Structure 1
Amino acid sequence: MNFSPGLRHVLIAASLTLSAASAQTVTVPTDQGPVIGSVGTFQQFMGIPYAAPPTGANRWKAPQPAPTWTTPRDARTPGNICPQVVIALFPVPGRTPGEILGNEDCLFLNVYAPKGSTAASKRPVMVWLHGGSFVAGAGSSYDASVLAQKNDIVVVTLNYRLGALGFLALPALDAEAQGGASGNYGLLDQQAALKWVQRNIVAFGGDPAHVTVAGESAGGMSVCAQLASPQAAGLFQQAIIQSGLCTSPGNAVLQKDAAARNVKYADKLGCRSDDLACLRRADVASVLTTKVPGLRPISNLVWSPTYGTPLLPLPLHDAFAQGKFNRVPVMAGTNHDEGRLFVPVASPDGSPVSLVKYWASAGLLVGTPRAQRVLLQYPFRRYGTPALAFATMFTDGVFSCPAIRVDNALSKYVPLYAYEFNDPQAVSVIKSPSDLPGLGSYHSSSLVYAFQTPLAGVADSGAFSPAQRALSDAFSGAWANFVKTGTPNASGATTWQVFDPAHANVQVFTPTSVRESTNFTTDHKCAFWLALDVK
């Protein structure tokens, strides 16, 4: 699963609108037409369309050329977010679970640049791919102003199509798709945005030859997909993978299998699977809420990248193991307690996780034949509660050890810097389940430390203690150093060594130190998980 606490756009969009209204303006040319941004302590451009609206006949098609204009376009407020369903696991202030948000006309991006940026600046660029299990989130959820201004870089955030609108594969769609393979529209959107960056970022002060693609959770998996996509070659020169789940259980679905499976989805939607006119007329709410039966809900991404296509010829693990990927320097990491955020998945009714629910969750995660072996590795008595045993199992099996598998593979071909974020009391406004000792460094907790701005409904950077502020400076600084130089080390430093599979050296970020550790694989039982090899 690739959930990430997205859907923060409601509060952030409001604050951005207020700040834009009172700021000075700057006009910048693009190949579509001029755009008007706001200038305060930084320069900000919001809601720039990078492709045509994927509506009507463009639904379930590759992104089409963006609109053009001659009169300067106001780019001081965010564009529409892509259609999505509010998820109970990540509540949105003022919204109820199951509520539909967004508009299909949603292919917008946002640019943050240091004040005074011009075409002559040629600053390094970071392109951010948001998380949200490929069903939620928005680029405008992330305020990259501090990251850009403080570190003298340009940051681009973007929307991409989500859920069935972003990843539906069907035989009838295959017949009309270039290359004969449908689906992966969300990944094609990301590539369209990266191409927009190549054409236009100079005008905003960025260097198109110095682009880092970065993302967390589903965004991290998207980074892995772009690394493995021949069609993304040359669109970026470095990559940051945060909590990417790139080789986690259930994530290697072949496109032909998804297309055959989704025939049932079309039937449930009320259309024949070959009646594309009917499918493209279907209302958004029905498209988003109609489910595909028969999948393991705890580990499978129903709507996510699929493989065996010109866009993604090989599953990620195979592409990385065979060296068939875009070879650029990589920085990759996870959080120490990723799985604690997902305890409600094991107990959706909100009650404490019982032994029965824990046993059942293990079977859903790895399959019934392997469940007993996993349960023996994580006896609940050792952890105090079934909830903490489940959370630790989930962290190790879904995040930490698959990440090491990726590190082992990529590091044979490119410089790779591995890390773990570990603040035992990471700032959060999310309530911890009663049967956990706390959320620890939960899934997505590192983002407020990296961006150093509040994430609405998740965490507030203003709540940092002095030690957490120092941790944030070190963590965010490492990201920025990597964006600027291809190494997370500060200028002249060599304390963070490239990953060596023989030592499994991981840089660990805590409130008291930043240091190399060779205990990561032992701490997370990776010898067990990598031998288990759950597909």
Structure 2
Amino acid sequence: MSITMVRTKKGDISGIEKEGYSVFRGIPYAKPPVGDLRFREPVEVDSWEGIYKADKFKAACMQNFGNPGGFYDKEFYSEGSPKTSEDSLYLNIWTPAENKGEKLPVVLWIHGGGFFGGYGHEKEFDGEEYCKKGVILVTINYRLGVFGFLVHPWLIDESDRGTVGNYGILDQITALKWIYENIEEFGGDFENITIMGQSAGSMSVQTLVSSQLTGNMIKKAILQSGGGYASELNRDYKIEEAIKIGEQFIKACEVDSLEELRKLPAEFIQDKANLIIAQGFASGQGLVFIPVIDNYVLKGGYNELVDNGFIKDIPYIIGSTKNDILVSPEMLEKGNRGSIYDACINWSLKCEELGHNASYVYYFTRDLPGDEAGAFHSAELWYMFGTLKRCWRPMEDKDYELSKKMIEYWTNFMKSGNPNHEGFDEWKPCKKTEPFIMEFFC
């Protein structure tokens, strides 16, 4: 195994050389949020002496992998559940071995999982194919569930700003800053960073492009099956509502102070949070540990921020899948493609209305082989990452051709903000006068 060395602002890092690219696994971008740092904003990681060996993926953030045989467990976690830990704020980088002295475009991938699951090295994620196209991929872990989104009066009183929650989003912003400050040493262009996510990762992307805290670091964004304008998935979660959930959680933990809460075992906290999450679904509230309107990260509701032009004026790709969340076969029979599909079009038309560029909108309709799940929520991940060979499904030649096409469109967009490539069908922006939708099928 060959190694490659990079010098960052915090110290030297060694990665692993592969054929045509290098991979750096498990680079710390913030201090472990444990002990007194639990339920606090991420803290900048300390410098280190010697060489940090970035040769192993780190633990996933605290979560539950308790559904053996479930659809998504079979689809993405069939190799077994990873270790989980509070000490999980790490990122992974795939970079081409040779870049001919050019600064390469960079994409930050934010995983989905309902803000309570997922991690940055799931088997469907990989940067090899992007490296072949001259793009650097970075994936991250960020705090999930109660660890990432607890709101409670104790925490509000402790905060200098009098606002709390959104620790998981602040983790993402801290990772983005780390990339902005260090990616040049990996051959990347810090002035050409795309952020990209799916499901909760897509909702995270929308949060980041709607937040003043990300400044001018984001140059392009890709939102997959989450977010948009007038979307049923984007919930304006007010701090008053989040406090009620936080108080239920504290009651379940049976503690009388923050000090006691921070001394509890992480596994105990996770178990109590699971009860609150289950109650949220049972009562119809849905997800209860999610981004909150805190007047710091988010200064308003998602639609309100779009209406007022507070989203970043940058190029966007946005889209959904045929059998996405909130879509039923009966709806499809009636020609109703679902609220996420509509929200993607709405987003592009609102961007145009604001005087921004219209977005590139897509619709993934390939029914994946192997069962009757169709073009399910997250089905496109195998294709746009080029990891079809890792999937259990009996993929056909036409699936690999579709994957090549999607990788070409995605990486061209990361390079220039325009996905189009000679020899492929033209992908037009979705405008009021011509609401073009690129359909991906085979």
Alignment TM-score, normalising by the size of structure 1: 0.74
Equivalent residue, structure 2, for 1:302: 288
* 1:260 and 2:260 aligned: no
Equivalent residue, structure 1, for 2:352: 411
Choose from 128, 140, 149 the match for 2:109: 128
* 1:423 and 2:423 aligned: no
Q: Counterparts of 2:10 and 2:318 in 1: how far apart (Å)?
A: 35
Q: Counterparts of 2:423 and 2:23 in 1: how far apart (Å)?
A: 32
For residue 94 of structure 1, report the CA deviation from its aligned partner.
6.8
**SS at 1:84 equivalent:** coil
Equivalent residue, structure 1, for 2:148: 166
Choose from 48, 71, 76 the match for 1:69: 48
**SS at 1:179 equivalent:** coil
Letter in 2 for 1:337: N
Distance 1:255 1:93, change over 3 A: same
**Count of residues in Structure 1 that have an aligned counterpart in Structure 2:** 425
Q: Counterparts of 1:330 and 1:250 in 2: how far apart (Å)?
A: 17
For residue 25 of structure 1, report the CA deviation from its aligned partner.
0.8
**SS at 1:180 equivalent:** coil
Choose from 83, 99, 119 the match for 1:138: 119
Equivalent residue, structure 2, for 1:56: 35
User: How big is each residue's C-alpha offset from its partner over 1:62-110, in whole Å with a ceiling of 9 and x where there is no partner?
Assistant: 10011321211111111221111015243244758xxx94011100000
Map 1:345-360 onto structure 2 (within 5 A): none
Equivalent residue, structure 2, for 1:500: 431
Distance 1:295 1:32, change over 3 A: same
Map 1:87-486 onto structure 2 (within 5 A): 87-88=66-67, 89=70, 90-91=72-73, 92-93=77-78, 101-117=83-99, 120-141=101-122, 142-246=124-228, 247-249=231-233, 251-272=235-256, 275-290=257-272, 291-292=275-276, 295-297=280-282, 300-339=286-325, 388-389=329-330, 396-413=337-354, 414-415=356-357, 416-424=359-367, 426-427=368-369, 432=371, 438-454=372-388, 459-460=391-392, 463-486=394-417
Q: Counterparts of 2:396 and 2:130 in 1: how far apart (Å)?
A: 23
User: How big is each residue's C-alpha offset from its partner over 1:18-54, in whole Å with a ceiling of 9 and x where there is no partner?
Assistant: xxxxx31111001110000111211110100000000
Would the aligned equivalents of 2:112 and 2:198 in 1 still touch at CA under 8 Å? Answer: yes
Equivalent residue, structure 1, for 2:18: 40
Distance 1:397 1:281, change over 3 A: farther
Q: Counterparts of 1:427 and 1:112 in 2: how far apart (Å)?
A: 29
Would the aligned equivalents of 1:448 and 1:460 in 2 still touch at CA under 8 Å? Answer: no
Q: Counterparts of 2:242 and 2:176 in 1: how far apart (Å)?
A: 26
Q: Unaligned 5+ residue runs, structure 1?
A: 1-22, 343-386, 433-437, 512-535
Q: Counterparts of 1:79 and 1:94 in 2: how far apart (Å)?
A: 16
User: How big is each residue's C-alpha offset from its partner over 1:349-372, in whole Å with a ceiling of 9 and x where there is no partner?
Assistant: xxxxxxxxxxxxxxxxxxxxxxxx
Letter in 2 for 1:84: Q
Distance 1:283 1:256, change over 3 A: same
Equivalent residue, structure 2, for 1:24: 2
Q: Counterparts of 2:173 and 2:317 in 1: how far apart (Å)?
A: 20
**SS at 1:467 equivalent:** helix
Q: Counterparts of 1:53 and 1:493 in 2: how far apart (Å)?
A: 45
Distance 1:140 1:94, change over 3 A: closer
Q: Unaligned 5+ residue runs, structure 2?
A: none
Distance 1:117 1:67, change over 3 A: farther
Distance 1:309 1:32, change over 3 A: same
Q: Counterparts of 1:339 and 1:116 in 2: how far apart (Å)?
A: 40
Letter in 2 for 1:324: F
**SS at 2:246 equivalent:** helix
Distance 1:122 1:168, change over 3 A: same
RMSD over aligned CA atoms reads 2.5
Letter in 2 for 1:37: G
Equivalent residue, structure 2, for 1:8: none
User: How big is each residue's C-alpha offset from its partner over 1:316-342, in whole Å with a ceiling of 9 and x where there is no partner?
Assistant: 1111122112221111011111149x9
Q: Counterparts of 1:474 and 1:134 in 2: how far apart (Å)?
A: 30
The structure in which a higher percent of residues are helix is 1
**SS at 2:375 equivalent:** coil
User: How big is each residue's C-alpha offset from its partner over 1:183-240, in whole Å with a ceiling of 9 and x where there is no partner?
Assistant: 1101000000000011100010100000000001110110000011110121210000
Would the aligned equivalents of 1:127 and 1:214 in 2 still touch at CA under 8 Å? Answer: yes
Distance 1:101 1:79, change over 3 A: closer
For residue 259 of structure 1, report the CA deviation from its aligned partner.
1.7
Distance 1:147 1:58, change over 3 A: same
Q: Using the TM superposition, name which of 401-410 and 132-141 deviates more.
A: 401-410
Q: Counterparts of 1:288 and 1:166 in 2: how far apart (Å)?
A: 12
Distance 1:84 1:117, change over 3 A: farther
Letter in 1 for 2:42: P
Would the aligned equivalents of 2:331 and 2:338 in 1 still touch at CA under 8 Å? Answer: no
**SS at 1:157 equivalent:** strand
Would the aligned equivalents of 2:317 and 2:361 in 1 still touch at CA under 8 Å? Answer: yes
Choose from 79, 83, 89 the match for 2:62: 83
Would the aligned equivalents of 2:305 and 2:311 in 1 still touch at CA under 8 Å? Answer: yes
Would the aligned equivalents of 2:26 and 2:56 in 1 still touch at CA under 8 Å? Answer: yes
